[in-house]
Homo-oligomer: A and B are copies of this chain.
Amino acid sequence: MKILKGHHGNCCCGKIRGFGRRITPARHAVLDTLSTRGEHLTAEDVFKASSRRYPNIGLATVYRTLELFTKLGMVSKLDTGDDKARYEFADGPHAKGHHHHLVCTSCRRIVDYTDFIKEEMDLLRKTEEGLSKKYGFKINSHVMQFYGLCRDCAR
């Protein structure tokens, strides 16, 4: 299958190749899906959407691809408490910008919020620094998330 020179050629393929990994139709399909279909997609979501573009893709490949992209830092893997990982573009050309999540524990709706992000980032940076020093950890990531009931589920 011919690889189209799309907008991905510029931003992601280089990163993939840089790690000695190959550009394949399956990876391209996943990339397209992630940039088209919004945030917090489950592997199954990605599989279904990618199948439209590339009908032969297998679910295992989707998992492997998402794992690779996560390792390369292109994708964020989220846990929103329902035993299914969710994926979205990490900060970068296709990303929505740094945000955190507010999750409804009843209907599983996920709201991305950016309110208080500056204060959060300041505190997170400060905490990371303090914890690194005190406990000797090299901190790589954090999770900050709120759970509750959305308006519809609360009533």
Contacts and interface: CB of A to CB of B under 8 A. Distances in A.
- By secondary structure, the A interface counts as mixed
Query: How many identical chains are in the complex?
Result: 2
Contacts of A139: 102, 146-148
Interface stretch (A26-34, A42-50, A60-68, A120-128): A120-128
Contacts of A126: 116, 119
Interface string A78-117: 0101000000000000000000001011000001010110
A71 B151 CA distance: 21
A100 B52 CA distance: 43
Nearest to A147: B141
Interface stretch (A3-11, A15-23, A130-138): A130-138
A81 B139 CA distance: 15
A99 to B, nearest CB: 12
B140 A142 contact: no
Interface residues of A, number: 37
B127 A150 contact: no
A35 to B, nearest CB: 26
A53 to B, nearest CB: 30
Given A131-B113, A144-B143, A137 B79 contact: no
Interface of A: 79, 81, 102, 104-105, 111, 113, 115-116, 119-120, 123, 126-128, 130-132, 134-151, 154
